[in-house]
């Protein structure tokens, strides 16, 4: 990836981070940490790799992006708003009565959301179904599924992994947001999901592990996943919960969901009073 | 008289027939293809058939994902595993997400026979009835299943189909037509209404004949679609007869007795009697034994009808 593109994507990721903090900050509380850890991934997908068109959100030939860790909705909403799926001002409605932007992603409420998720473990199976539909219809769209490490303690993740691996679904790429924390503690202290890449390989998937905040590395991993015919790929993204926002990272395990003061978000976003 | 065909044969034939003209019909199984006998569909349309193995939650999620891409997915398992085993997947990935998935639960209630308590669903319709927008239907025999299958496929939304797999009692003539969203009045009567579903329909018809000898003129209504329930047919009948017996191969809680009682309580309060399983688990046995065990015989319906009539003011 050329330097110009890397800079563009990194700058975009910075913008998305600010939108996330503004969105949650205006509400006062939300899932901050796990939204911030997938910003580089969403940026590479929506601004570089995925075949999507904000003016045709239901195009049957589009790539699908399933955010199985649905509590990271604010990250996805920020990207969708910035891409023009809906007006940017809508981010101010997060979790307000009657909003189209609920805590957890809802495909029937938010334009551009490909699958409803929030009850952990379910989205990956749905992504497998989308990939199978692509095979039936001989379409060349690709399905990208984003799962969490805590989420991967759900058995259904492994039901879906096993089937995706055995079916050789090369039109599905799975990303693990390995931010190493869950609500109660560090994932390793609760019930470790490592070695995740080795588990995937044992399930007949192709696996690799990269720095989840390196946009060039993410783009490269996607290219390799596309090139791996007859194999479903899982990319383990080593990430930091709350990445890019010091007051989130410093909360550690507490960064999953916490309150943000007006002063905090305005300072981070460099925004004066409305 | 028994049907000449098994209901699963009609199920698979209908799927194949529909798939000829509808490229979106897809079948997903969880290692019970050889029980529901969808093998002929797999043979005819291998690209549109998936067996995910013993993983019902994954079966439901995959079905929902296929549906987001325009597929009409029929998936199945024993009713216990097709409902309570994967309830949250049905609730969120299918129903809350508004996906066009048809879930088939076989071997309802005592039909599970010697598979016993682990496999004997007296609660499946109750569970599915709690899911907003879920259509819940129990086709009575082969003729009805054949009539309803195209309607189920054409309906855009989630449907739960409670299916007797094997040869059941033949109630309706071949070629009979039914409306998915209407109840069917089998016999008119004036003294008491018997609302029945599934294997209890044939028993209700037999009970009505015995009641006639006792001077009780019973109306028999087959409510096969429990949700949304055909309120108008029920209200019209209960207003006329003034008493009702509900006969279901299901727990008295949350099933057809509950559904009919909800209508009666709101719109035409009358005495309600129930021939059903009274909050019990299943156990092994053949159908005659289990019918005695849970009180699901013709005689139980007759007794309940006489009691209901006696409670009329």
Using alpha carbons, select from B155, B139, B157 the residue that is nearest to residue B147.
B139
Q: Which of B50, B70, B97 sits opposite A107 (nearest CB)?
A: B97
Q: Which of B53, B55, B65 sits opposite A126 (nearest CB)?
A: B65
Q: Give the per-residue pLDDT at A141.
A: 98
Q: Give the per-residue pLDDT at B150.
A: 98
**A115 CA to chain B: closest CA distance, Å?**
8
CB B68 within 8 A of CB A122: no
CB atoms under 10 Å from CB of A88, counted, come to 11
- ipTM value: 0.97
Give the separation between CA A274 and CA A253, rounded to whole angstroms: 32
Q: What is the mean pLDDT of residues A115-143?
A: 98
* Domains defined for chain B, CATH in brackets: 7-163 (3.40.50.970), 184-310 (3.40.50.920)
Mutate to test the interface with A, among B27, B56, B65 (most CBs of A within 10 A): B65
Q: What percent of chain B has pLDDT over 70?
A: 100
Domain range A3-269, its CATH number among 3.40.462.40, 1.10.3720.10, 3.40.50.150, 3.40.50.970: 3.40.50.970
Say if residue A85's pLDDT is above 90: yes
Q: What is the mean pLDDT of residues B15-41?
A: 98
Find where tokens 């028999």 sit: B220
Q: Which of B47, B57, B89 sits opposite A136 (nearest CB)?
A: B47
B52·A159 Cβ contact <8 A: yes
Using alpha carbons, select from A202, A147, A210 the residue that is nearest to residue A176.
A147
Output the average pLDDT for chain A.
Answer: 97
Q: What is the mean pLDDT of residues A173-191?
A: 98
Q: Give the per-residue pLDDT at A237.
A: 98
B71·A160 Cβ contact <8 A: no
Return the H-helix or E-strand segment holding B304.
Answer: helix B298-310
Q: Give the per-residue pLDDT at B40.
A: 98
Q: Which of A125, A134, A137 sits opposite B62 (nearest CB)?
A: A125
Say if residue B6's pLDDT is above 90: yes
Mutate to test the interface with B, among A58, A108, A125, A203 (most CBs of B within 10 A): A125
Q: Which of B61, B69, B93 sits opposite A133 (nearest CB)?
A: B69
A156·B58 Cβ contact <8 A: yes
A107·B68 Cβ contact <8 A: yes
Chain A contact residues (CB < 8 Å to B): 60, 64, 107-108, 114-119, 121-137, 155-156, 159-160, 162-163
Q: For chain A, give every domain's residue range.
A: 3-269
Q: Give the per-residue pLDDT at A273.
A: 84
Radius of gyration of chain B (CA): 19
- Tokens matching residue B301: 């319906």
Give the separation between CA B202 and CA B218, rounded to whole angstroms: 14
**Cβ-Cβ contacts under 8 Å, B66 against chain A:** 129-130, 132-133
Q: What is the mean pLDDT of residues B169-181?
A: 98
Using one digit for the tens of pLDDT, what is the confidence trace for B250-276?
Answer: 999 999 999 999 999 999 999 999 999
Q: What is the mean pLDDT of residues B158-183?
A: 97
Say if residue A123's pLDDT is above 90: yes
**A93 CA to chain B: closest CA distance, Å?**
21
Distances from the Cα of B169 to the Cα of B27, B44, B53, B76, B246, angstroms: 27, 29, 32, 22, 19
**Cβ-Cβ contacts under 8 Å, A123 against chain B:** 61
Say if residue B313's pLDDT is above 90: no
Say if residue A244's pLDDT is above 90: yes
Q: Give the per-residue pLDDT at B170.
A: 97
B93·A134 Cβ contact <8 A: no
Say if residue A254's pLDDT is above 90: yes
**B153 CA to chain A: closest CA distance, Å?**
18
Q: Give the per-residue pLDDT at A81.
A: 98
Whether B63 contacts chain A with CB within 8 A:
yes
Q: What percent of chain A has pLDDT over 70?
A: 100
DSSP B186-205: EE--SSEEEEE-TTHHHHHH
3-state secondary structure of A140: coil
Q: What is the mean pLDDT of residues B219-240?
A: 98
Say if residue A274's pLDDT is above 90: no
Using alpha carbons, select from B183, B169, B178 the residue that is nearest to residue B146.
B178
CB A15 within 8 A of CB A82: yes
Using one digit for the tens of pLDDT, what is the confidence trace for B196-210?
Answer: 999 999 999 999 999
């Amino acid at each position: 990836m050329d330097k110009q593109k890397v800079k563009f994507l990194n700058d975009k990721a910075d913008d998305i981070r600010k939108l996330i903090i503004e969105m949650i900050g205006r509400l006062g509380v939300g899932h901050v940490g796990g939204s911030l850890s997938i910003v580089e991934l969403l940026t590479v997908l929506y601004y570089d790799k995925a075949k999507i068109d904000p003016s045709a959100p239901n195009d049957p030939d589009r790539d699908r992006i399933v955010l199985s860790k649905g509590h990271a909705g604010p990250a996805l909403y920020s990207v969708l708003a910035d891409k023009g799926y809906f007006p940017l001002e809508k981010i101010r409605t997060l979790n307000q009565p009657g909003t189209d932007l609920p805590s957890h992603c809802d495909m029937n409420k938010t334009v551009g959301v490909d699958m409803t998720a929030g009850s952990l473990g379910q989205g990956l199976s749905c992504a497998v179904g989308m990939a199978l539909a692509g095979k039936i219809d001989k379409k060349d769209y690709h399905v990208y599924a984003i799962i969490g490490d805590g989420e991967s303690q759900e058995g259904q993740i492994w039901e879906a992994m096993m089937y995706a691996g055995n079916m050789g679904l090369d039109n599905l790429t799975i990303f693990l947001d390995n931010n190493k924390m869950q609500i109660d503690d560090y994932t390793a202290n609760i019930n470790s999901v490592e070695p995740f890449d080795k588990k995937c390989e044992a399930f007949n998937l192709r696996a690799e592990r990269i720095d989840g905040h390196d946009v060039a590395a993410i783009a490269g991993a996607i290219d390799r996943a596309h090139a791996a015919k007859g194999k479903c790929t899982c990319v383990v993204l080593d990430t930091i919960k709350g990445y890019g926002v010091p007051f989130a990272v410093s909360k550690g395990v507490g960064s999953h969901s916490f309150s943000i003061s007006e002063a905090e978000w305005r300072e981070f976003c460099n925004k004066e009073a409305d | 008289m028994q049907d000449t065909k098994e209901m699963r044969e009609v199920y698979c034939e209908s799927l194949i027939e529909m798939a000829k003209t509808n490229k979106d019909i897809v079948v997903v199984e969880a290692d019970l293809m050889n029980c529901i006998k969808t093998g002929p569909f797999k043979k005819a349309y291998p690209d549109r058939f998936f067996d995910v193995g013993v993983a019902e939650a994954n079966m439901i999620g995959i079905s929902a994902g296929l549906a987001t891409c325009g597929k009409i997915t029929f998936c199945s398992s024993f009713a216990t595993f097709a409902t309570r085993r994967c309830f949250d997947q049905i609730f969120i990935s299918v129903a809350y997400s508004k996906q066009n998935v048809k879930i088939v639960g076989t071997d309802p209630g005592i039909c599970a026979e010697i598979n016993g308590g682990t496999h004997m669903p007296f609660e499946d319709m109750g569970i599915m009835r709690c899911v907003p927008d879920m259509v819940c239907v129990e086709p009575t025999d082969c003729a009805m299943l054949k009539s309803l299958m195209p309607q189920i496929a054409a309906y855009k939304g989630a449907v739960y189909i409670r299916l007797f797999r094997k040869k059941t009692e033949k109630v309706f003539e071949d070629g009979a037509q039914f409306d998915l969203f209407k109840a069917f009045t089998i016999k008119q009567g004036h003294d008491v209404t018997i609302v029945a579903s599934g294997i209890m329909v044939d028993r209700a018809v037999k009970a009505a004949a015995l009641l006639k000898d006792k001077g009780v003129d019973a109306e028999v209504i087959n409510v096969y679609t429990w949700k949304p329930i055909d309120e108008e047919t029920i209200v019209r009948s209960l207003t006329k007869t003034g008493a009702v017996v509900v006969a279901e191969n299901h727990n008295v809680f949350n099933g057809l007795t509950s559904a009919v009682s909800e209508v009666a309580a709101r719109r035409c309060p009358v005495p309600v009697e129930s021939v059903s399983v009274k909050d019990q688990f299943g156990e092994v046995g053949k159908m005659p034994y289990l019918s005695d065990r849970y009180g699901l015989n013709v005689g139980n319906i007759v007794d309940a009808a006489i009691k209901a009539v006696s409670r009329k003011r």
